[in-house]
Amino acid sequence: MDRIVLTDALVGSPFGVLLLDKAVKAARLAGAEVAGVTLPRGMAPAARCRFVGEAARHGLGCVEGAVPACGDAFTVFVGGRAVDLRVPGGLHDWHAHTQFAYCGRGIDLMDAAALSLALGVETQGFSEHAFALYFPSDALKFRWQGDPGFVEGVWASEGRGRMAAYRAWVEGLRALLGPRVRFGLEVDLFGGGRFCLAPEDREGWDYLIGAIHEVEGLAPGATQAEVVRAWMRDVERLLQQPIQVLAHPFRYFPWAGRPVPRELYRPVARMLAQTGVAAEINHHKNPFELEFFRVCLEEGAGISLGTDAHVTRDIADLRPHLRTLAELGLSPGDCLSP
Ligand SMILES: [Zn+2]
Ligand SMILES: [Zn+2]
């Protein structure tokens, strides 16, 4: 059982509480059994409360005690060993959300960008859901997907939902945040395979990610074979669109409570290679299909990394991706880069 020991520099950092979250995740991913958190003595009560609260979120208690002298805010001590919470160089995260996402649970783009850059992520991409920018939150259940008239109505409306506002905001942020922060969109299909991006919104993004969150036109009670056929049809359609990345390939199936059609690993990997679209390594709430990425490499498809962060604290959580890259015999430099 190891304790996580926080230094004065870490608890005094503007990222302090978020760094405690990173430390717990890193320790547990490395196999440590974390017994609790040691805070420096004499913290101000308000700051102590925030750290105690964050530790409790992970099921951990805090005590005050002696902590090592260390001036680096990004170093913690786990079981007496120093752990650097920064990520290694050369990592690009192309998939994170913003406060504009309906599925976001407390992410703030500026906080997320600051944390990501501080932790050494080379490029932080934000790829908000295009549908969330166009449609009200009650359209989240993908009813818009089968209602082209509704979609076109929104596209013809003033401001196209929140899209025009988002675009204006992003343009203002570019100069402030610099080239390490990129802006794209995560885009679905609708209306029989059309790309859910209004003509006015086709340009002006650094990149586009294609995603299948829902399969169109499935009757209730569709068989696995029907679902698989319709999903593959949608993958083929999506890969005809101007996307650089296929988000969370195969996630649709576990989320729909269905078995993953592993016989499609190779056909999908081949299509990715042929269309020049990268397969995304994404560990956000999906059982990971490592073997699919092996097949992608055999077929010559590219690889992209995405945290799919929906909360600020999940930004720069790229350690699971690093483990996956090692399992695939890859280094960060083998992944999609700017
Ligand atoms: Zn997605
Ligand atoms: Zn996403």
Q: Which residue(s) pair with 278 in the sheet? A: 245
- pLDDT above 80 for 329: yes
Per-residue tokens: 137: 């939150």
Burial 114-130 (b: 16+ CB within 10 A, else e): bbbbbbbbbbbbbbbbb
Contact 292, 269 (CB under 8 A): yes
| Residue 248: pLDDT band with limits 50, 70, 90 | very high
The pLDDT assigned to 104 comes to 65
Q: What is the share, in percent, of the chain residues with pLDDT greater than 90?
A: 91
pLDDT in tens, 47-87: 999 999 999 999 999 999 999 999 999 999 999 999 999 99
Ligand nearest to the CA of 212: 1
Ligand nearest to the CA of 107: 2
What is the chain's mean pLDDT, rounded?
Answer: 95
Distance 188 CA to ligand 2 centre (A): 11
Average the pLDDT over 208-226 and give the result.
Answer: 94
- pLDDT above 90 for 27: yes
Ligand nearest to the CA of 125: 2
The pLDDT assigned to 14 comes to 94
Q: Which CATH superfamily is domain 92-334 in?
A: Metal-dependent hydrolases (3.20.20.140)
Distance 306 CA to ligand 1 centre (A): 10
Distance 4 CA to ligand 1 centre (A): 33
Distance 209 CA to ligand 2 centre (A): 9
108: CB partners within 8 A, 6+ apart = 98, 99, 312
**Beta pairing class for 181-187 and 123-129:** parallel
Q: Where do the structural domains in the chain lie, given as residue ranges? A: 2-84, 92-334
Distance 246 CA to ligand 2 centre (A): 11
Q: Which residue(s) pair with 309 in the sheet? A: 96
**Beta pairing class for 278-282 and 62-65:** unpaired
Rounded alpha-carbon distances, angstroms, from residue 330 to 29, 85, 288, 304, 318? 19, 21, 17, 12, 14
Q: What is the share, in percent, of the chain residues with pLDDT greater than 70?
A: 99
- pLDDT above 80 for 286: no
Distance 36 CA to ligand 1 centre (A): 34
Distance 309 CA to ligand 2 centre (A): 7
Q: What are phi and psi of 136, to 5 degrees?
A: -70, 160
Distance 295 CA to ligand 1 centre (A): 22
The pLDDT assigned to 338 comes to 87
Distance 89 CA to ligand 2 centre (A): 23
Distance (Å, whole) CA 183 – CA 173: 10
Average the pLDDT over 320-333 and give the result.
Answer: 96
pLDDT in tens, 29-53: 999 999 999 999 999 999 999 999 9
pLDDT in tens, 104-156: 677 899 999 999 999 999 999 999 999 999 999 887 778 899 999 999 999 99
Distance 213 CA to ligand 1 centre (A): 6
Ligand nearest to the CA of 248: 1
- pLDDT above 80 for 333: yes
| Residue 102: pLDDT band with limits 50, 70, 90 | confident
Q: Is the dihedral of CA 228, 245, 205, 199 positive or negative?
A: negative
